[in-house]
Amino acid sequence: MEFLPKEIDEYSGKHTQSETKILSDLNRETHIKVLIPRMLSGHIQGRILSMFSHMIQPKNILEIGTYTGYSAICFAEGMKPNGKLITIDINNELETMANSYFEKSGFGNQIEMKIGNAMDIIPELELDFDLVFIDADKNNYSNYFDLVIDKVNKGGFIIADNVLWSGKVTTEEVTTDTDTKALDEYNKKIHEDSRVENVLMPVRDGLMVARKL
């Protein structure tokens, strides 16, 4: 679906730094070969994620939900030279594709993809993180936050994607649809949590950005 009027979307894209060739190729291959390609972060949101990473300059990043690896590469662009990015996905069907682009991007030695249930994997991680990106099953957003908050360094960020859910969080579906309800509950949870300060950015399908105090 279109998140912005076509004219505004096109104008924004024309006045935003272009994707790298690797990201452009990954964008194209995802749209050709993968089901539901709109799950990809894409050009403008990808540049925003990269900009966040460059501003934060994280040493360690955790991503929950890899898909084809686009957002991981965007985050890796701003990571410290000795940094590490761990990305988790429950679906192994896209593992080969994602890893091939990690290698092509030049960040292959810094990005580690783990396949499995994030609820099981996160507690076993021994790293502390400067940046966490949540973009997986919506019903577990609040659970993911609870699992990572103590692993995030003071001043670190937790960013969650799709928190506007095509605007459904503002409709009656917030009481009838499980994903919509879960996202609404997540937004309220973050807004009321005294351990973080937050801003919900109406970028594409919504980014909830929380900074640990």
Please write the tens of the pLDDT for every residue from 61-70: 999 999 999 9
Domain ranges of the chain: 6-212
What is the pTM (predicted TM-score) of this model?
Answer: 0.95
pLDDT at 41: 85
Mean pLDDT, residues 36-43: 82
pLDDT at 2: 63
Strand 129-134 relative to strand 111-115: parallel, antiparallel, unpaired?
unpaired
What distance in Å separates the CA atoms of residue 155 and residue 102, rounded to the nearest whole number? 27
Which token pair is 209? 């950005």
Architecture per CATH, domain 6-212, reads as 3-Layer(aba) Sandwich (3.40)
Check pLDDT > 60 for residue 1.
no
User: 60 has which bridge partners?
Assistant: 84
pLDDT per position as a tens digit, 14-38: 999 999 999 999 999 999 998 787 7
pLDDT at 187: 98
Identify the three-state secondary structure at position 83: coil
